[in-house]
Amino acid sequence: MLSERMRHLTPYTAGEQPRDRSYIKLNTNENPYPPTGKVARFLKRIDPDMLRLYPDPNMTRLRQVIAEREGLAPENVFAGNGSDEVLSFCFYAFFDSVRFPQLTYSFYPVYCDFYGISKTTVPMKPDLGIDLEAMVSRERQDPVIVANPNSPTGMYLEKAEIEKFLHRYNQESIVIVDEAYIDFGGETCAGLINTHKNLVVVRTLSKSHSLAGARLGYALAGKPLIDALFVVKDSFNSYPVDTLAQEIGVRALTDCAPNRRNIEKIIATREWTAGKLAEMGWSVKPSRSNFLFCSMPGRDGFFVYSELKKRGILVRYFDKDRLRDSVRISIGTRKQMQSLLTAVQVIAREPT
Ligand SMILES: Cc1ncc(COP(=O)(O)O)c(C=O)c1O
């Protein structure tokens, strides 16, 4: 009944979305604040008639707004149904083989298997940082993808380091920088697409713009690469970004000051939470994202995950080498993080 291809598929495992009870949900890096006023006002006065027609397949207005925000031209912008879709189109369009860090976003190997792309994983530095030096293969320079900040660690590579890497790297091999978390304290590489024709920067509105449910992501690159992504899109589905999502994206991206305030609250709460956990003896990776990757002294990650879940708090545990001693905790509101810290103090007293 199933195709030969289908028998070999191993899908990505998304973070839990349980509906059995209400949880403080700190496991999938969603934004704890609602989308800003412009989005809310638009949603309150939607005319159902706008859904009668197919969406704009070129996403003209949305791409214009993204281009203005990034200081680029609309021809440098592609948008898709979440950055997951944009990334998967990039893998299809640009990679026969690819190198990426051993510990990173776990959708990358899934796309490789899905499209039959050969993958090489590059060991991390001892502190779990990305080793850019090691990303350069000696024998040939395969395309590469790095998440910056990386997931699940939240650790960040300075823009200058990426720029240096781009100068040294084969200009014919694609380099993708996945900037899903860049708004939480990093500096984007978007401007570098003008000087590096092999660079693709991928962003999402899921995290910094509170729009995980709208599914909106985008890629920034030179026109020939963007044109290639349109060819891939039009070979799957001409309209991956629906009319509502396009309209919502335009509002979200032009409501800058309130959005900035939400991001700043998240950054402040992250630093406050990291400080409190460190005071309790936890080891916490330096984060420029909306989450913390951290470990409780003397306990493994699965223990922390399960004990918190019993108490109504969801965090993410990764059953992978070098990650098992830790959990990844998304940054919620200050009140949610206070509840987390209280629960953490309680579970620290549980017998081993
Ligand atoms: C590094 C990274 N890239 C991309 C994504 C996908 O985000 P979305 O498909 O919601 O835009 C995620 C989601 O968690 C991520 O962690």
Dihedral, 301, 307, 313, 316 alpha carbons, nearest 10: 20
pLDDT of residue 14: 85
E-strand spans in 211-277? 217-220
Residue 351 or 71, more confident: 71
Going from N- to C-terminal start, the domains of the chain cover 4-34+257-348, 37-255
CA of 28, closest atom in ligand 1: 14
What's the burial of 279, exposed, middle or buried (CB within 10 Å: 0-12/13-18/19+)? Answer: exposed
Q: Which residues pair with 118 in a beta bridge?
A: 97
91-103 residue pLDDT tens: 999 999 999 999 9
CA 39–ligand 1 middle distance (angstroms): 21
- 206: Cβ below 6 Å to ligand 1? yes
- 180: Cβ below 6 Å to ligand 1? yes
Q: Which fold has domain 4-34+257-348?
A: Aspartate Aminotransferase, domain 1 (3.90.1150)
CA 139–ligand 1 middle distance (angstroms): 31
60-78 residue pLDDT tens: 999 999 999 999 999 999 9
Residues 6 or more apart whose Cβ sits within 8 Å of residue 208: 31, 181, 183, 184, 259, 262, 263, 290
Query: For the packed helices 334-348 and 301-310, what is the interaxial angle rounded to 10 degrees?
Result: 110
Q: What percent of the chain has pLDDT over 70?
A: 99
From CA 338, how far away is CA 254, in angstroms rounded?
32
- Cα–Cα–Cα angle for 237, 209, 271, rounded to 5 degrees: 135
318-333 residue pLDDT tens: 999 999 999 999 999 9
Q: Which of 26, 84, 88, 200 to mutate to test the pocket of ligand 1 (most atoms within 8 A of CB)?
A: 84
Same CATH topology for 4-34+257-348 and 37-255: the answer is no
CA of 212, closest atom in ligand 1: 10
CA 29–ligand 1 middle distance (angstroms): 9
From CA 15, how far away is CA 153, in angstroms rounded?
16
Closest CA to 31 of 337, 339, 341, 333: 333
CA 233–ligand 1 middle distance (angstroms): 19
Q: Which of 88, 91, 107 to mutate to test the pocket of ligand 1 (most atoms within 8 A of CB)?
A: 107
CA 1–ligand 1 middle distance (angstroms): 32
Q: What is the pTM of this model?
A: 0.97
**In CATH, what number does 37-255 get?**
3.40.640.10
Classify 131 as helix, strand or coil.
coil
pLDDT bin (cut points 50, 70, 90) of residue 140 is low
Instruction: Please tell me the number of Cα atoms within 13 Å of 324 on its side-chain side.
Output: 3
From CA 286, how far away is CA 184, in angstroms rounded?
12
Query: For the chain, how far is it from start to end, CA to CA, in angstroms?
Result: 49
